[in-house]
Amino acid sequence: MTSPLLSIRDLTVDFSTDTGSFRAVDGLSLDVPAGRTVALVGESGSGKSVTAQAILQILPKVARITGGAIRLQDPAGPPGGTDIAALKADSSRMQALRGGRIAMIFQEPMTSLSPLHTVGDQVTEALRLHADVSADAAKARAIEVFDRVGFPDPRRALVTYPFELSGGLRQRAMIAMALITKPALLIADEPTTALDVTTQAQILELMRELQAETGMAMLLITHDLGVVANMADDVVVLYRGRVMEAGSREEIFRRPGHPYLKALMRAVPRFHMAPGERLTPIREVKSAVLARKAGEPHRPDPAGPLLAIEGVRKSFTLRSGWFKGKVRTINAVNGVSLKLHPGRTLGLVGESGCGKTTLSKVVMRALRPDSGTVTFDDGSGRGPRDVFALKDRELKDFRRAVQFVFQDPFSSLNPRMTVYELLTEPLRIHGVGTSDERYERAKELLDMVGLDKGSLRRYPHAFSGGQRQRLGIARALALKPRVLLCDEPVSALDVSVQAQVLNLLKDLQASLGVSYLFVSHNLAVVDYIADTIAVMCRGYIVEEAPKAALFRNPAHPYTRALLAAVPEPDLDHPLDLKLLMSDRFSDPASWPEPYRLAGGEAGAMTEIEPGHFVRVAGPMLRQAA
Amino acid sequence: MIRYLARRVVTMAVTLLIISALVFVIIKLPPGDFLTNQIAELRSQGEAASVAKAQFLMQQYGLDRPVWEQYLRWIGLWPNPEGAFNGLIQGNWGWSFEYDRPVREVVGDALWLTLVVNLAVVIFVHLVSIPIAIYSATRQYSIGDYVATFIGYIGLATPSFLLALVMLFYANRWFEVSIGGLYDSAYSGQPWSWEKIRSLLAHLVVPTLVIGLGGTAAMIRRMRANLLDELGKQYVVTARAKGLPPTRALLKYPFRMSLNPFIADIGNLLPHLVSGSVLVSLVLSLPTVGPILLAALKSQDQFLAGFILMFVAMLTVIGMLISDLLLAWLDPRIRLGGDGR
């Protein structure tokens, strides 16, 4: 057996900061054989990314490799290999390896590319740094690579800026930049975490194909076991900088040994969960207040739905560019009707740009729809009232009753306010209670989301992503709302933390009777939390059904594509990547009959079984009539 | 692009018109004007001939007319007593009562000397502060960073006129040269020659240093903060992971990004330098427009003051246009913004 391409032995990386030093990677050893994919799995803070940075010697300034060896046995390099750990970060040999023999792609395709330089410039730069080629030859090579990674117009890609591209195309540009030098090893640090499931599936398939073509090895860093199950040959599980378990994919998934790994696996929402089965987060949130509240009677519920959206339309006019002045109209929401019942969860699923955020803004009364109504019934006996006609006192009541949980736990909390100020701000704005009562309420809220009251005086930066998201939920609950609008509340979180937050939301619903409008692109997550699911594409609801019916009998081709795109941490349910390789499933004009909607046709929802609606085109309707 | 430029030029013209109205109203706010004051003074001295001349001027420039009519005449939208339109728009900068000469002659050299001094200051500020800021930002919390920061704070805290006085004194004492003025007094009133230009360059050094010091210190602080923000961005890591040598990675990506606020600031820079350097100009007796403006405002020499203020406003508006065009040229997000976001 030949020696592996990359072999790491007893690697330790230490961080020394003002507040003391800590060991981010502690005696890590792993091998990446040539041409194979090794997945490095763990939660945030487990040292996965630091390991990748150590391999490339691009650690932050406060971090240092303090021990161990990183040996690269490059067939194109010197015989006997190179010990990267012994090289200086800015040495010319290290610079030649970086990007030349070992390339890296990152999680955030949005911020990983410079917005001021064209994609072509940034990609050809990578090649020209490592190979002695002319500018024209580099461009020709870049066009080839762009074509290979799936740019629709490779020649145009040369002069395109990153912000003109969608997230998926940006990540393809990153891949092109990494692969143009034909590296021996590709390090992919959470390459698909920031992407929609369908885009994720396409990028994963692309990476697999490219690996097969070039024979490069891949070190895949991820917290998503579903991705691991579909991509990796070998798996290394990391916890607090130490290897917990390592082995082939088969071993790891069929016979997980370490309790941490088992716990990680139980934390992922899956489609084949038994009804009522609960995810097991690694750290469960415990709350005394919630247990007490569970026994208390709920507020009176309205007879009908709490929130009813009827035929809402919203279009935006875009003026493209400073110098052009062209005007385009985009129909973000196209005649959407939905109902949210008290104490229930309505899941709204779709890819980015499908209009789900616009819709939730309309519900919040942050945007006025072009047509259609939103009515709200708080159960006080006054019946459903038009949200957009509310004034003064009634509007204030509505604002209290409908609250928002945001996607990004980092930017949604003001870093200059303490937790106490954050949690009591809604109360102060609405003039609820005395200062003592507000203090009591803040303590109660913290307890509900499983944080202790010592947190009240701390600032948001002192909390992890999951804890911040719980703070965001606590803040949303401060005014005892009837409805929480949750916009991708878990998509920025690790699986283990995701399970914790999902369970928390479920418990809160059981105890407090709040309703959720839960927006997400991940069907598996929505499946876990929602009662009814509406699938949205290009501003239309294409399918709406109770959860069980939707998964038993998904009718619409778009729903099927979304279902197929979720990677499951289960070797028996691999992704059907071929199915997802084209973008056609999100184009209404290329859906098969009878779902095809061409030329601005809206079609209509038909009921295929009780409570299960699918959007079909006009002619089909006439036949049915 | 053409449409955008046309739109900008129209807004600029409107802006200047509004500024001119404001400038005129503010100059006229104090009671009386230069000529009425003078006439009163001359009357008390009994100089009938001069009084007659002042009264002629008063009529000529319509100082006995309502303010709005004076204003319209000044900018050239109202006929003067001879029935001709002859104001700023037509290129007539007006008459200075104080100097008893046309404004054009009074400000003449001062205008472009001001531009020369300020240009020198701007270049000095950028040349000095950018390298220091890059050094400070890339070696944050190193000794060099602390030294640069310390010197920067001293620069910020030292009033520039004080520095000018100190320099004036020591230059005289140690080198026995007078650094006042922008050229040797022997050349004043002389036509421009190579010797005069050389003298000008030699005399430029001290004013540039004195006026630019505060700006340099401020720019180092801002540039350092901007760069530090950018250095933490993900695309910097991407550039390093690509194998770019550190200096090239720094200059191509984060440095370029951190320049944006400064380009956006060009428009503000010019008027600030003109008004900020008045004290230094007085101390160093620089023949720039600053001191002239000060004197004109004090004596209510309305056309002179009005013209200088309009000149500064013009610089600002043009500076803004230049910075907007530069920004659009440098930053594709502004050029192409609105698309595909």
Which one of B3, B243, B256 has the shortest CB-CB distance to A130?
A: B243
Task: Using alpha carbons, select from A607, A610, A601 the residue that is nearest to residue A618.
Answer: A601
Kindly compute the dihedral angle of the four CA atoms of residues B38, B41, B45, B47, in this order, to the nearest 10 degrees. 20
Q: Find the radius of gyration of the CA atoms of chain B.
A: 25
Q: What DSSP assignment string belongs to A239-262?
A: ETTEEEEEEEHHHHHHS--SHHHH
Chain A residues inside the 8 Å CB shell of B332: 115-116, 118, 161, 163
A265: which residues sit within 8 A by CB, 6+ positions away?
A225, A253, A256, A569
Interchain CB distance below 8 Å, B253 and A114: yes
CB burial of residue A156 (10 Å; 0-12, 13-18, 19+) = middle
Tell me the residues of chain A between 80 and 99 that have a Cβ less than 8 Å away from chain B.
90, 95-99
**Band of the pLDDT at B177, cuts 50, 70, 90?**
low
- Answer yes or no: is pLDDT of B164 > 70: yes
CB burial of residue A213 (10 Å; 0-12, 13-18, 19+) = exposed
Interchain CB distance below 8 Å, A320 and B338: yes
Tell me the residues of chain A between 401 and 430 that have a Cβ less than 8 Å away from chain B.
none
CATH superfamily of A288-553: P-loop containing nucleotide triphosphate hydrolases (3.40.50.300)
Chain A residues inside the 8 Å CB shell of B256: 116
pLDDT averaged over every residue in chain B = 83
pLDDT of A472 reads 92
Q: How far is A319 from chain B (nearest CA, A)?
A: 6
- Interface A-B, measured as beta-carbon pairs within 8 A, has a size of 106
For residue range B56-110, what is the model confidence (pLDDT) as tens digits?
Answer: 878 777 777 888 888 888 888 888 777 778 888 888 888 888 888 888 888 888 8
Domains A34-46+88-266 and A288-553 share a fold: yes
For residue range A360-402, what is the model confidence (pLDDT) as tens digits?
Answer: 889 988 889 999 999 998 877 777 888 888 888 888 889 999 9
Chain B residues inside the 8 Å CB shell of A165: 340
Interchain CB distance below 8 Å, B245 and A58: no
3-state secondary structure of A346: strand
pLDDT of B339 reads 39
Q: In what order do the strands lie in the sheet with A6-17?
A: A20-32, A6-17, A63-72, A82-83
Which one of A90, A99, A116 has the shortest CB-CB distance to B242?
A: A99
Interchain CB distance below 8 Å, A95 and B333: no
What are phi and psi for residue A340, nearest 5 degrees?
-120, 120
Interchain CB distance below 8 Å, B330 and A112: no
- B241 and A CB contact within 8 Å: yes
Interchain CB distance below 8 Å, A116 and B257: yes
Which one of A117, A130, A322 has the shortest CB-CB distance to B337?
A: A322
Q: How far is B222 from chain A (nearest CA, A)?
A: 21
Q: How far is A511 from chain B (nearest CA, A)?
A: 40
For residue range B53-71, what is the model confidence (pLDDT) as tens digits?
Answer: 788 878 777 777 888 888 8
Chain B residues inside the 8 Å CB shell of A142: none
Interchain CB distance below 8 Å, B238 and A164: no
Mutate to test the interface with B, among A16, A107, A110, A112 (most CBs of B within 10 A): A112
pTM for the model: 0.81
Interchain CB distance below 8 Å, A129 and B253: no
> Using alpha carbons only, what angle is made at residue B209 by residues B208 and B213, rounded to the nearest 5 degrees?
115
Which one of B4, B240, B252 has the shortest CB-CB distance to A58?
A: B240
> Using alpha carbons only, what angle is made at residue A453 by residues A452 and A457, rounded to the nearest 5 degrees?
120
Which one of B243, B252, B331 has the shortest CB-CB distance to A100?
A: B243
Which one of A99, A113, A164 has the shortest CB-CB distance to B243?
A: A99
A306: which residues sit within 8 A by CB, 6+ positions away?
A340, A341, A342, A376, A377, A378, A379, A482, A483, A515
Chain B residues inside the 8 Å CB shell of A96: 243
Chain B residues inside the 8 Å CB shell of A177: 238, 242
Which one of A112, A116, A129 has the shortest CB-CB distance to B243?
A: A129
pLDDT of A320 reads 52
Question: Half-sphere exposure of residue A398, counting CA atoms within 13 Å on the CB side?
Answer: 22
What dotted CATH number matches B106-336?
1.10.3720.10
Q: How far is B238 from chain A (nearest CA, A)?
A: 6
- Contact assessment for residue A558 and residue A539, using Cβ atoms and an 8 Å cutoff: no
pLDDT of A580 reads 66
A148: which residues sit within 8 A by CB, 6+ positions away?
A176, A210
Which one of A108, A321, A325 has the shortest CB-CB distance to B336?
A: A321
Task: Using alpha carbons, select from B90, B120, B79 the residue that is nearest to residue B216.
Answer: B120
3-state helix, strand, coil in chain A (%, to 5): 40, 25, 40
Residue of B nearest to A55 (CA): B241
3-state secondary structure of A312: strand
Per-residue DSSP letter, A343: T
Q: Which tokens in the block code for residue B116?
A: 């020369």
Q: How far is B131 from chain A (nearest CA, A)?
A: 21
DSSP strand E in A397-478: where?
A: 402-405
Tell me the residues of chain A between 159 and 188 that have a Cβ less than 8 Å away from chain B.
161, 163-166, 174, 177
Interchain CB distance below 8 Å, B340 and A125: no
Chain A residues inside the 8 Å CB shell of B340: 163-166
Which one of A90, A174, A325 has the shortest CB-CB distance to B246?
A: A90
Interchain CB distance below 8 Å, B338 and A100: no
pLDDT of B337 reads 56
**Band of the pLDDT at B340, cuts 50, 70, 90?**
very low
- Contact assessment for residue A218 and residue A207, using Cβ atoms and an 8 Å cutoff: yes
- A106 and B CB contact within 8 Å: yes
Chain B residues inside the 8 Å CB shell of A323: 1, 3-4, 328, 335
Question: Is the bond preceding residue A594 a cis peptide, omega within 30 degrees?
Answer: yes
For residue range B224-249, what is the model confidence (pLDDT) as tens digits?
Answer: 999 998 888 889 989 988 888 888 88
Interchain CB distance below 8 Å, B234 and A112: yes
ipTM (interface predicted TM): 0.76
Per-residue DSSP letter, A495: H
> Between residues B236 and B195, which one has the greater pLDDT?
B236
What dotted CATH number matches A34-46+88-266?
3.40.50.300
pLDDT of A82 reads 86
pLDDT of A20 reads 78
Which residue positions in chain A have pLDDT lower than 50?
1, 321-324, 624-625
pLDDT of A265 reads 84
Interchain CB distance below 8 Å, B341 and A321: no
Interchain CB distance below 8 Å, A322 and B335: yes
Q: What residue ranges of chain B are covered by domains with CATH 1.10.3720.10?
A: 106-336
For residue range B6-45, what is the model confidence (pLDDT) as tens digits?
Answer: 888 899 999 999 999 999 988 888 887 788 888 888 888 8
pLDDT of A358 reads 87
Region of residue A562 (left: phi > 0; alpha: psi -120 to 50; beta: else):
alpha
CB burial of residue B1 (10 Å; 0-12, 13-18, 19+) = exposed
- Contact assessment for residue A569 and residue A226, using Cβ atoms and an 8 Å cutoff: yes
pLDDT of A625 reads 43
Kindly compute the dihedral angle of the four CA atoms of residues A539, A545, A549, A552, in this order, to the nearest 10 degrees. 0
The domain limits of chain A are 34-46+88-266, 288-553
